[in-house]
Amino acid sequence: MRTGIHVAAHPSQLAVLTPYLIPPALPKRKVLNLGDGFILRAIERWVGPFSSSRMFSPRLAPGDEAVAALTHSSAVIIAGANQLNDRYTIWPGLTAERIRKGRLRFVPFGIGIHGDSEQTIRLSEETRSILEAVHEQIEYSSWRCPNTVAFLRREMPGIAHQLLMTGCPVIYDRPLLESDQFLSAETTVAVTASERGEFWERETQVIDAVTKRFPRARRYFVVHQNFSPPRMGERLQNLLSSVNAGTCMNRIAALRAYARQRGFKVVIPSSADECIQFYDHVDLHVGSRLHAHLLFLSRNKRSYLVPVDHRSVGIAEHLGFPLLAPEALDRSWDCDFEIVRAKARATYAVMQRFVNSLGRTPCHLNPIANQISV
């Protein structure tokens, strides 16, 4: 059963565009990212579950049947992730003219700025026109960090008053908002990795630091994007000692084998829901997956984030948590997490104002709604 802060009265009227869905027709098959699923589920905590017939991917232009479903929806939520760049178009080929003529009502919900500064220099005229058309149909839009809002307000001052810095929806859940002390248990630890670029040194340092700090804990290496078939990982499970990871044909599989050698159990969830259920039984998180980090914090559990690029800079600034170098983890275990709770509570009402602007009157509100002031 999904629980959360809000339950919408008529969720079937909303549609959603989510990168968590991977269309089979993509020219190059993308790999499912569980973090995108965490965002989707967090949005559902606020507006209610989406009907499967009204869930679509923004990675491909929708067909006529999908467009008809979107047009007949009260609004189309654009679900999170760091999608905003200079050439952002919601889906490939979409234009401002089509938004206006088709009466499509898009609502950005927790979208973040791209992590590469070269991708956010100046909005293209096409992107600017699309965002103007979007904001003609709505009162507010939701963005996940101060950096995102600052960029948009600089580029589009005419809609600045409509751009709300709500934070990422993943952070808002009852355990964080209602508790007064982070959980101290450390019987079980999850480590996540981002297997992009030159990841080997960063991720092995994280594994080694966790092994040293939590030698008696049950340790799990959790895969959020399965870039490597499990069968390859199985082949390498007992072979790492005879394989040079720097020359291995599959360094992703070698990283899993490295973790196994150090006492970790490799876990490859098949879905976001399965991963969330697994994390419910884990005490704390260390790693480079931002939305695993936010999920654990939302559960009132400690989490230590090692950044890969600039995607997490703005949200770390907003919530007040440190971004940790892997070689500095040994000096970072005593972080003050209470600042995260204070920051989340401070912007809870902003998220609530945004959701109310959708015309979604919740059936019931979390009791903390009347206890938090900004």
Mean pLDDT of 221-235: 73
Domain annotation for the chain: domains and CATH numbers: 11-169+346-370 (3.40.50), 183-336 (3.40.50.2000)
Q: How far from the centroid of its chain's Cα atoms is residue 16's Cα?
A: 15
Mean pLDDT of 279-284: 98
pLDDT band (50, 70, 90) for residue 230: low
User: b/e string for 75-89 if b means 16 or more Cβ within 10 A?
Assistant: bbbbbbbbbbbbebb
User: What torsion, rounded to 10 degrees, do the Cα atoms 307, 5, 350, 295 define?
Assistant: 0
Per-residue pLDDT of 45-89, as tens digits, reads 999 999 999 999 999 999 999 999 999 999 999 998 888 999 999
| Closest by Cα among 176, 365, 229, 209 to 287 | 209
Mean pLDDT of 97-110: 96
Provide CB contacts within 8 A for 14, sequence distance 6+: 8, 47, 48, 50, 54, 73, 74, 75, 76, 77, 358, 360
**More confident call, 293 vs 236:** 293
Read off the pTM: 0.90
